[in-house]
Structure 1
Amino acid sequence: MRTPRPLPAAVSLVAVGAVVALAIWRPWQGSSAADAASAPAGISVSRSQCGQGLTDVKTGRQTLVVHNTGDAPAEVDLVELGSNKVYGEVEGLGPNTSAPMDVQLGAGRYAIRCLIEDTDAITGPSVTVTGSDQGGPAVVPVTKNDMLPLVKQYEAVVATGVAQLVVKTDKLRADVDGGNLVAARADWLPAHLAYNSLGAAYDAFGDFADKIDGSAGFHPLEKGLWHNASAASLKPIADQLAVDVHGLQADLPNEQVDPNDLGLRAHEIMENALQFELTGENDQGSGTSLNTALANLDGTAKVLAILDPVLKSRYPGLTDVQKWEGRVRVLLTAHKTTPVGQLDRTTREQLNGAVGELLESLAPVAAICDVRRTS
C-alpha cells in the first residue's frame, strides 16, 4: 500500500455530469512587486480586504481570480450565505500569488471567506446573483468536530482488525517454525487478507506498513512458500513478520488516523487494487490477487460505513458508489480463486470496467470529507 499523494494547491468544485469533480490549477506566483503587479486583477484576499472585488459575478459557469494581497498564506472559499455551501476553493495561496477559481453558480447570495493563518475566518462583502442558470455541485463543509467521532469509531474498528491479524500471523509463523509448509500455504492467505482489509488506517502505520506488506513481510514469504523454499530459509521471514505485526499492535495506541485520510483512502484503496492486484503485479505465486482485491473492497466498505453520516446528506452520488461496489463484489467473489493471468478476456474487461466506474463514483468523497475551517 502506498502513501498518499499531496493535495493540490488550488481546487474548485465543477460539474462533470451529476458528479462532483476536482479541477486543479497551479497559482501564479509573483517573486517581486513587478511580478505581483502583472498578475491578473481579481478578488483580494487579506485580513483587511477579504473579498474586495467580488463584483462581476453572474449565474452559470465562470472563472474568478483570487489574489493574496496580504503577508500570510491563505485558503479561500466562495460560499453561499445561508446554506454555507462551498462552491469553489483555493488552498495554499501564498502572498503575492493569484489563482483561478472555476465555479458554476445559481441565483443566490455569495461571499468570499478568507482563512488566513493565526486568524479567525473572515467573510467578505456579499454579492447577490440573479439569473436562471443552475448552480453546480457544492459542498456543505465538514468540520473537525464532524470527523473526530468518526475517526475514533474507525480507530476502534482498526484495533479489532489488528488483533485478528496478530492471531492469524502467529498461526502462520507457527506453521513455518514447525516446518509444516502445507499448513503455512493454507494460513498465509487469511493472514494477508486480514491486513489488506484494514483499509484507510495504513498511513498511520508508519514504517510498519512496508515491513508487513511491502518488500518485506507477506510478499517474500509468499514467494518462498509457492516456489519451494525450505522451511529453514523462510523461518526468519515469518518470525520477523510476526514481530512487526506485534509491534504494530503495541504502537497502535500512539498512532492517529488523520481525519482527511478517511475520505482520501476510500478512493486510493481501490486505486491500489486496480494497479497492483487486478494486474497481478503483487502476485508472488499464490494466485490470490483477486482475494486481496476483495479484501481491499472490504476495507473501502468499512471506510464508507464510517463516513455515512457525513456523506448521506452531502453526496447524491452515494447510490452510484453502492451500486458499483456491489457489482465489483459480485465479480470478485465469483472469480476470487482464479489467478489474474487465467481470467478470460470478458471477465477481465468486466472487472476493470466495474472497478473503473467505482473509482469514478468514489473520486468526490475526498473533497466532500475534507475538513474545512468555518470559523
Structure 2
Amino acid sequence: MRKLPALTAVAVLGLGLTACTTDPEPAAPGDTTGPIAVKATDTSCEVARGENAAGTVTFNITNSGAKVTEFYVYAAGDRVMGEVENIAPGLTRELRVELPAGTYETACKPGMIGKGIRGAFKATGSAAPLTADAKLAEASANYQRYIQSQTAALLPKTEEFVAAVKAGDVAKAKALFPIARTYWERIEPVAEIFGDLDPKIDGRAEVIEEGMAFTGFHRLEQDLWEKNDIGKSGPIADQLLVDVKEIVAKANAEKLSPLQLANGAKELLDEVASGKITGEEDRYSHTDLWDFAANVEGSKAAVQALRPTLEERAPELVAGLDAAFKTVDDTLAKHRDGDGWKLHTALSQADLKELTDVINALAEPISKIAAVISK
C-alpha cells in the first residue's frame, strides 16, 4: 500500500517502540552469511554487500536520512520477496528473508514513494528451504488455505460493491465498501507481493506522485464520500473488479515461505500504526476501524499458522502473543457499532492513544517471530 510521506506523532510512536536505534554490527570481511548492513539516506541506499549465501538472509536497515523510508528485496518482475516499511529517521529495522539462489534487487524508498534507489543482489549456492521442516511446511499450507477462504469472499463482495456503484446506488455502495475491504485487508501480506497490483487496487491519491493513475477502492471512496458523485465512476469500478480477479488468482496460487508469514504478521501491524490509527487510510469515509480489525485478524491468522513451531521453539513467546492479541481484541471491541465499527472521527485522542499502546504491545513479540522460525 502507498502511504503518506509524513506520519503523525501517533504513528511514529507506534513504529518507534518496535525498532532498535543502534547501528548493526558489520559482517566480517568475506562473510557471505552474516547480517548485511544497509545505510539508507534520502539520496542513497548503501548495501554492505551485494551477494549472500542462499537461504535466510538478514538485512539491518538504518535510516540515516530525514525522510521515512522503506526497504524491499525484489525478484524478477518486481515480485516482493521481503519488505520493511515505515523506517523512521534515526531508526534501524531488521528484515529476514528467504532467498533461493538467483538474482534480485534491493531498494530503499525515501519518502516511501517511487520505484526506489535500487541495486543488484545475488544469492548463491543452495540451501534447504525452511519448509523442509514438516511443521513449517504445514504452516505455509494452512496459511494458503486461509488466503483462499478470504479471497472466496473478497471477489463476490467486490462484485456486489462494483454493481452498486455502477447502478448509482450510493447508500448500498457505501455500506458495502468497508465489508469488501475487510477481506482485502486480511490478505495484504500476499496481495503486496505482485508489483503494481496493490497500489492499483488500494493506493491512495499519493500514487499520482509516482506516475500512476489514482484508481481502485480509494478512488471510489473519494467519489462516494467527498465528491458525492458516482455518475462517472463505472470505468474505475470495472477496473477494480478486473484487478481484484487477478490478485485473487495469483494469491490462491502463491505459496508463501514461513518467513513471509512472520514478516506479513508484522507488516499488518505497521499498516495499523501508519494508516488506520491516524485516519489516513480511509480519509473520505472514516471507516478505518474496519481495516484495523481486518489487519489484526490477518496478522493473527499468520501467527496461528506458525503456532506449532513457535510452541515447540519458544513457548513463552506464544503466551505473550496470546495475551497481547486478547488485549487488542478487547480494546478494539469497545468501539463496536452494531455489526461494524465506529467511524474514526468518533474516536477521542485518548481512544487513539489506547489503541496505539495495545498495538505497540502486540508488535513487540510479533517482531521476534522471524528470528525464532529461521533458526
When normalised by structure 2's length, the TM-score is 0.62
Measure, in 2, the Cα distance between the counterparts of 1:248 and 1:166: 10
Consecutive unaligned residues in structure 2, runs of 5 or more: 4-17, 33-50, 57-95, 99-122, 205-214
Q: Does 1:366 align with 2:370?
A: yes
Measure, in 1, the Cα distance between the counterparts of 2:355 and 2:55: 40
SS of the residue aligned with 2:133?
A: helix
* Cα deviation, residue 275, structure 1: 1.1
* Cα deviation, residue 266, structure 1: 1.3
Contact 2:164–2:170 under 8 Å retained in 1: yes
What is the CA deviation profile of residues 29-74 of structure 1, one whole-angstrom value per residue up to 9, with x for unaligned ones? 76xxxxx9xxxxxxxx79xxxxxxxxxxxxxxxxxxxxxxxxx955
Alpha-carbon distance change, 329 to 300 in structure 1, aligned in 2, over 3 angstroms: same
Map of 2:325 onto structure 1: 325
What is the CA deviation profile of residues 325-373 of structure 1, one whole-angstrom value per residue up to 9, with x for unaligned ones? 1111122222153333432232222111111111112110111123x5x
Measure, in 2, the Cα distance between the counterparts of 1:153 and 1:22: 35
RMSD across aligned positions (CA):
3.5
Alpha-carbon distance change, 24 to 164 in structure 1, aligned in 2, over 3 angstroms: farther
1:1-375 map, 5 Å: 1=1, 25-27=24-26, 73=52, 117-118=124-125, 144-146=132-134, 147-215=136-204, 216-315=215-314, 316-336=316-336, 337-370=341-374
Map of 1:112 onto structure 2: none
Map of 2:11 onto structure 1: none
Measure, in 2, the Cα distance between the counterparts of 1:289 and 1:120: 42
Map of 2:45 onto structure 1: none
Map of 2:68 onto structure 1: none
Contact 1:199–1:300 under 8 Å retained in 2: no
Measure, in 2, the Cα distance between the counterparts of 1:288 and 1:120: 45
* Cα deviation, residue 184, structure 1: 0.5
Alpha-carbon distance change, 325 to 298 in structure 1, aligned in 2, over 3 angstroms: same
Alpha-carbon distance change, 254 to 24 in structure 1, aligned in 2, over 3 angstroms: farther
Measure, in 1, the Cα distance between the counterparts of 2:124 and 2:25: 20
Contact 1:208–1:248 under 8 Å retained in 2: yes
Measure, in 1, the Cα distance between the counterparts of 2:194 and 2:217: 16
- Give 2:370's aligned amino acid: A
Aligned residues: 265
SS of the residue aligned with 1:313?
A: helix
What is the CA deviation profile of residues 215-266 of structure 1, one whole-angstrom value per residue up to 9, with x for unaligned ones? 3311111111112432222212211111111122233455332331001111
* Cα deviation, residue 286, structure 1: 1.3
- Give 1:235's aligned amino acid: G
Map of 1:101 onto structure 2: none
Map of 1:64 onto structure 2: none
- Give 1:329's aligned amino acid: D
Measure, in 2, the Cα distance between the counterparts of 1:91 and 1:163: 28
Measure, in 2, the Cα distance between the counterparts of 1:148 and 1:305: 14
* Cα deviation, residue 186, structure 1: 0.6
Measure, in 2, the Cα distance between the counterparts of 1:221 and 1:256: 31
* Cα deviation, residue 324, structure 1: 1.4
Measure, in 2, the Cα distance between the counterparts of 1:234 and 1:175: 11
- Give 1:157's aligned amino acid: Y
Alpha-carbon distance change, 28 to 344 in structure 1, aligned in 2, over 3 angstroms: same
What is the CA deviation profile of residues 260-311 of structure 1, one whole-angstrom value per residue up to 9, with x for unaligned ones? 1001111111111111110111122211111210110110111111111111
SS of the residue aligned with 1:25?
A: coil
* Cα deviation, residue 143, structure 1: 5.4
Alpha-carbon distance change, 73 to 351 in structure 1, aligned in 2, over 3 angstroms: closer
Contact 2:165–2:237 under 8 Å retained in 1: yes
Alpha-carbon distance change, 362 to 120 in structure 1, aligned in 2, over 3 angstroms: closer
Consecutive unaligned residues in structure 1, runs of 5 or more: 4-18, 31-35, 37-44, 47-71, 78-89, 93-115, 122-140
SS of the residue aligned with 1:279?
A: coil
Measure, in 2, the Cα distance between the counterparts of 1:142 and 1:314: 14
Measure, in 2, the Cα distance between the counterparts of 1:364 and 1:28: 21
From the CA coordinates, give the structure whose radius of gyration is larger.
Answer: 1
Measure, in 1, the Cα distance between the counterparts of 2:54 and 2:244: 40
SS of the residue aligned with 1:282?
A: coil
* Cα deviation, residue 118, structure 1: 3.3
Alpha-carbon distance change, 267 to 24 in structure 1, aligned in 2, over 3 angstroms: farther
Measure, in 1, the Cα distance between the counterparts of 2:257 and 2:267: 15
Alpha-carbon distance change, 206 to 120 in structure 1, aligned in 2, over 3 angstroms: closer
Alpha-carbon distance change, 257 to 203 in structure 1, aligned in 2, over 3 angstroms: farther
Map of 1:124 onto structure 2: none
